[in-house]
Every structure is written in C-alpha cells, then in structure tokens.
Chain A
Amino acid sequence: MSRPAHATSEPLIRRDRVFEFLIPKQVDNLDLSHGTALYLEDISVSFDGFQAISHLNFYVDTGELRCLIGPNGAGKTTLMDIVTGKTRPDTGSAWFGQRINLLRLDEAEIAQAGIGRKFQKPSVFENLSVFDNLELSMAGTRNLWATYRAQLNGETLSRIEAMADTIRLLDQLHDMAGSLSHGQKQWLEIGMLIMQNPVLLLVDEPAAGMTHQEMDRTVELLTTLAGDHAIVVVEHDMDFVRALNSPVTVLHQGSVLAEGSMEQIQSNADVMRVYLGTEDASC
C-alpha cells in the first residue's frame, strides 16, 4: 500500500484539536463561499527520512491563476500528489473549499469532487481516439452501471466537438491519441482536464516540449480558463510564467520561500540566493 497511516508522533491529547478519526470526510458538498478553493495548512511529509515538504501553508482562491516555481526537489510535485490523494502527508490538513477533507478521500473521489490534474509527462490514453479520450474525461457519474449504460447525445457530442476545436484537434478527432505530436498530446491532456469541469486544476509543466506558437496558445488557453476555474501551474520555463502574468509562489526545500508578483519575486533577496548557481537559474 502506498498510503502510510497518519503519523501519530504528537501527544495523544491536544486541546486545540480533535482526534483524527473525528474529523469528518465530507460535511457537505463543495462550499466555496469564503472565496478560497484550497487550504493546505502545516503540511509535512517525508520519504525515508527525506523531508519533502515541511510545515507548508498554501492557499488558492477560487478562480485564481497561480504559478508555482522552485528548484528541483523543492516539493512541487509532492504538493500536487498530496492534493490529488496520491501521497498522504504525515501531518497537517488539506481542505477543498470549507467542507471537503482531502486527506480522507482517495484519488477517484477527489477527482469527482472537482480537482483535475495534468501530469508532467503527457499521459493520454494512447490506444483510444482523441474523441474517446475526451469522452471518458467528460464530467458525469462514474459508477460501473452508469458507465456501462452511458450513451452520447447531441449535447455531449457537441461539447466534445467544441473542446476538440478549442484544443485544435478537430481534424485528428478519430486518430489514436498515440499518433499525436508531443505538443498535441499536451493539449489533449489539457482538454481532458477541462472536460472534467473541475473547480481546481493542477497543471504540471504544460509548456514542456512545446514550440513557441504552441506555448503562446497554451498561455491564452490558461488565462481564459482562470476565473471559471482555480488553476495552479507548475512550470520551469520562466518566459512562460512571465507570460501568464499571475501571482507566483516560490517553493524551496519543502516550504514557501516567497509569494507575490513576478517582479516582486525577481527582486526578492531570498529567491536570488536560492536560485543563484543552480541549474534552474533561468530567470
């Protein structure tokens, strides 16, 4: 099992918090009334002694576009793993909106609650057509019988068609996803993500392997999506981050080093010190 139990190294009784098992899984449906989509508080996780994340606090507002940068090993991907249920933190809490406790849900439940994720390596279903890839990702019930009985109707069909148009894959609609170019696969995966209609999108390195035109188009796509969806973008390419023109959070050694606009970040002394001499010093 890839799920370590919650560490219980802390004293058994602490008056400022309730027992782990008393924290409900989900009080109600998604509640975003306070304007914050994601709360990560005091998160720590270590793998075989390596502290990947330590006492991290991270908040994402609804409809916000946020960039997450940091040197290799800063904990960016681990953070995404925690939010999507792939990794369980040793301590801390993670809530989606006010009422959904992410630490008590599994990957599929988190996805159904409204968090979508694009992986670093484009991972599309290579032996299914572009159409099928989009169809499977489309929001809807996911239980066995409903999936077996699912039929396409005019509305869902035009949604798939419109999405294929948006990601410029209409001509390849019935081609196998495996036959697409690297950039096209990246787009297909972004398209799949949007088809899920998530409240929060986690996008890991969307610009990797893209040409400049493709990159511009991706920036355009992401900026249009922000507002309707909260988006967290992890990216190494500083030109791309600059083009997104959004607040930036810098991670370093598993905690937040700085937060602010790109200009503020670039003039921040701590950030300069961390990046200086490292491979990622492209900014």
Chain B
Amino acid sequence: MKIPETEDLFKPARGQRSRRSTIVFVTVLIAMIVGVTLCNQLPASNSLHIGNYMVTLLGKYLTYAILAISVDLVWGYLGILSLGHAAFFALGGYAMGMHLMRQIGDRGVYGNAELPDFMVFLNWSELPWYWMGFDSFAFTALMILLIPGLLAFLFGWFAFRSRVNGVYLSIITQALTYALMLAFFRNEMGFGGNNGLTDFKDLLGFDLRSDDVRLGLFIASGVALLLVYLLCDMILRSRLGKVAVAIRDAEDRTRFIGYRVEHVKLALFTLSAMIAGLAGALYVPQVGIINPGEFAPLNSIEVVVWVAIGGRGTLFGAVLGALGVNYAKTWFTGAYPEAWLFALGLLFVVVTLLLPRGIAGRLLRKSSLQAGS
C-alpha cells in the first residue's frame, strides 16, 4: 500500500484551496479599497473619478458584506439558519447612534446639551440610566460588541441547551427580531420611537458630512471587513472549524464523539452576533440614521438570500452575494423600482435551482477543474 508523503498529509488539498481563496480575496479587497480611494481623489472631470455618493454607497455595501459573513459563519458552517441577524446589526447600530446623539450636544433643534431632541420633545426631564456612558467612544465601542453578544449568548444559552434545532430555531430568531422591532417603535423605550436616531453631527470630532470623513468611513468599513474575514478564516481553518462543519452535517455523531455541541454553537453564535453588531455600528454613521425599521424581519431574510446567492459555506461567497445583490438592488430600484422584489425572488429561485452552492460554489468548481484535480 502506498504511503503518502508526510508533507502531503500536513497540507490537505482542501486546506490549500481555502488558503488560496483567502489570498485572492485579501488581495482583491485591498486593491478595491486603494483603487476607490485613489479614484475618489481624481478631479471630477476625469473619467475614472468616483464620486462621494458612490463612495458612501460602497461603504454601506461593505458593512452589509460584514453582516453577510456573520450569517454565513452560523448558517453556512454551523447549520444554524438565523432569520434574526438584522437584530444584532440594528443593536450595534443603535449603540453607535446613541453615541452620535450624545456628540450633538447643544447643537440640536432645542439646543439642550443634556438631552437629545426627541427626549425634550417628549418632555423628559433627565437622561435615562441606559444612556449613561454613551458620551465616551471607548464605552460605546465596547457596547457595540457587548450588547449583541450578550443577547446572542442568552438566546443561544436557552435555545441550544434545549436542543432547539432547524426550522423551530429559525422561527424563534425571526420572532426575536420582530419583538425587538415592536419594542423599539415605542417612544417609552427611550430610543426615539419610530423616528429612531438621526441628525448626527460628528464622530470623534470629525464632521460626518465632510467628504474626507465619508471616505474615511469607507476605508474603515473595508478594513473591518478584512479583519473579520481573516478572523473567521482563522477559526474555520482550525480544528474548531472542522467540528463546526461536523455539527452542521451530523450533530448527534459529533456529540457521541465527545464534543460539547452546545458550547461550540454558543461560542460561534455569540461571535457572529458581535460581528453583526460591528457591521451595524459602521453602517449608521454612513447612512445617517437608525430606526426600528432595521429590525424588520424582511431585512434578516434578505441577508440569508445574499448568502445563498453568493454561496454559503464559503466566506468570500457571502461577501460576493452581499455586494452583488445590493448593487443590483440599487440599480434596479433606480431603473425599475416596482420590479425589484420580483427580480430578487427570481434570482433566488434561479440560483437555488441552477447553482445550489451559489456563485462561489461555481467558481470553486471551475478553479478545481482547471487545477486538474
């Protein structure tokens, strides 16, 4: 019997392929960030010039890509179909929004340095306790990760320990985001009711309406995407990543081998929620508003559609799906506004039928065929 070289054993073929896709992804992403930055600096008369509107739009797409990675991490690799990830995204967004509200200071319509405008409007006399600390950016940064993480941890603790699986879990996640939406619509919650938080002025002393800051936020989103990608890639390539795939494919078997399935699920679900929160926090200063509409169940479902189209179970597929579908959405809603939902539905059906592993699955198959393996 032929014994393979030890060298081969250390580098299984699949590992090599995922390493190659990581290198390609990182290179393309960095090239894109640098390219957009340079093109933005060109004079407007140049044909390669990218306007500020486009830069902000791309920045928004990048935060969607981060959100898509967080969904892919739990759905594509762990088999947990979360239909409530927009909730974590929105919570991160609200945390950032609260900080931005505090930064307004006395420049609001009512000129009240102590209270945000909507609280003055509601005749509130003092700042609720849960708004304390959001004056500090460091505290806010912590909360952006901690609040979605904590919610996911508590949710996961009960759901995974009771072995709630499959479609039941999906429905509960959907209910979670719906419940949060209803709660945040209430004025008494102290988060601005259905108007949400808006009219932001500046972040860390930088004027949010200036072009340079918008470019800066785009770059920050790109860097965040890069770091999140590398973090997830590192985890998924470790033995823990293999255990995650094992849980996805045969949960009971994994348990009988001795792995604490609940612990793995809880850890990755919590991490995923924190990543979604980070995405939301980067999203809010770029769009300038956060309101309860972000909790809408449809938003969470749309994320799942991006991941499915891009190709679940591959990180770059999730990114590809988020960028591609959102670009198509922007174009469609401009050209044929009423046709967009039909187009999205059609795209989803076509991809499910013809490309069950998404665009990424197609690309990988092509490249492995070319490599002759």
| Residues of A in contact with B (beta carbons under 8 Å apart) | 1-2, 84, 86, 107-108, 111-112, 116-117, 119, 123-129, 131-132, 135-137, 142-144, 147-150, 152, 154, 157, 160-161, 165, 170-171, 173-174, 192, 196
**B10-18, B63-71, B145-153, B207-215 - the one binding chain A:** B10-18
Evaluate contact between A196 and B257: CB separation under 8 angstroms.
yes
Known: A129-B12, A148-B238. Contact between A108 and B243, CB under 8 A? no
B343 in the interface (beta carbon within 8 A): no
Partner of A171, one of B2, B162, B253: B2
A-B complex: 9 closest residue pairs judged by Cβ atoms: A111-B258, A150-B239, A148-B240, A112-B258, A107-B255, A125-B246, A123-B253, A147-B240, A108-B260
Fill in one digit per residue for B216-260: 1 if any A CB lies within 8 Å of its CB, else 0.
Answer: 000000000000000000010011101101101110111111111
CA distance A132 to B12 in the complex (A): 9
| Residue pair A108, B258 in contact (C-beta under 8 Å) | yes
Residue among B13, B14, B253, B260 facing the most chain A CB atoms (10 A cut-off)? B253
Contact A150 B261 (CB under 8 A): no
A126 CB contacts on chain B under 8 angstroms: 249-250
**B residues less than 8 Å from A116 (CB atoms):** 256
Contacts of A143 on B, CB cut-off 8 Å? Answer: 260, 263
* B258→A196 contact, CB < 8 A: yes
Residue pair B255, A111 in contact (C-beta under 8 Å): yes
Residues from chain B with a CB closer than 8 A to the CB of A1 are 162-163
**What's the least CB distance linking B212 to chain A, in Å?**
40
Q: In angstroms, how far is the closest chain A Cβ from the Cβ of B288?
A: 39
Q: How far is the CA of A13 from the CA of B171 in the complex (A)?
A: 45
B-side contacts of A154, CB under 8 Å = 6
- Across the interface, name the chain B residue whose C-beta is closest to A84: B256
Which parts of B1-23 form the interface with A (CB within 8 Å)?
1-4, 6, 8-10, 12-14
Contact B239 A147 (CB under 8 A): yes
CA distance A142 to B8 in the complex (A): 26
| Bound-state Cα–Cα, A243 to B263, Å | 42
CA A165 – CA B9 in complex, angstroms?
14
Given contacts A127-B249, A174-B14, contact A147 B238 (CB under 8 A): yes
| A170, B3: Cβ atoms closer than 8 Å | yes
Q: Quick one: given A108-B260, A132-B242, A149-B238, are A174 and B255 in contact (CB under 8 Å)? A: no
Asked if A170 and B256 sit within 8 Å, CB to CB, the answer is no
10 contacts across the A-B interface (CB closer than 8 A): A111-B256, A119-B253, A125-B254, A127-B249, A142-B260, A143-B260, A148-B235, A157-B10, A161-B4, A170-B1
Q: Which residue of A lies closest to B6 (CB)?
A: A157
Q: Does B31 contact A (CB under 8 A)?
A: no
B30, CB-defined interface residue at 8 Å: no
- Known interface pairs A144-B263, A170-B2, A192-B257; A161-B240 also in contact (CB < 8 Å): no
Instruction: For B246, give the chain A residue with the smallest CB separation.
Output: A125
| Nearest CB on A from B55, distance (A) | 37
Cα(A84)–Cα(B2), bound, Å: 37
* B235 CB contacts on chain A under 8 angstroms: 148
Given A125-B245, A142-B258, 18 more pairs with CB closer than 8 A? A84-B256, A119-B253, A119-B256, A123-B252, A123-B253, A124-B250, A127-B245, A127-B249, A132-B12, A132-B242, A142-B259, A144-B263, A147-B239, A147-B243, A147-B264, A157-B10, A173-B9, A174-B8
User: How many angstroms from the CA of A110 to the CA of B257 in the assembled complex?
Assistant: 9
Contacts of A150 in B (CB 8 A): 238-240
B239 near A136: Cβ-Cβ < 8 Å: yes
Q: Is B267 an interface residue (CB 8 A)?
A: yes
- What residue in chain A is nearest B373 (Cβ atoms)? A174
Give the shortest distance, in Å, between A190 (CB) and chain B (any CB). 13
Report yes or no: B243 in contact with A131, Cβ–Cβ below 8 A. Answer: no
Known: A1-B162, A173-B4. A123 touches B260 (CB 8 A): no
Cross-chain contact A144 with B12 (CB below 8 angstroms): no
Scoring B residues 294 to 326 as 1 if CB is less than 8 Å from chain A, else 0, what string do you get? 000000000000000000000000000000000
CB contact between A111 and one of B4, B6, B240, B257 (< 8 Å): that residue: B257
> Which residues of chain A are within 8 angstroms of B253 by Cβ–Cβ distance?
119, 123-125
Most buried by B among A154, A173, A174, A196: A174
User: CB-nearest residue of chain A relative to B264?
Assistant: A144
Q: Which of B2, B9, B246, B259 contacts A131 (CB 8 A)?
A: B9
Contact, CB under 8 Å: B259 / A152: no
The docked-state distance in angstroms from the alpha carbon of A270 to that of B259 is 42
Bound complex: CA of A173 vs CA of B258, how far in Å?
23
User: How many angstroms from the CA of A152 to the CA of B256 in the assembled complex?
Assistant: 22
Query: Which A residues touch B248, using CB under 8 A?
Result: 127
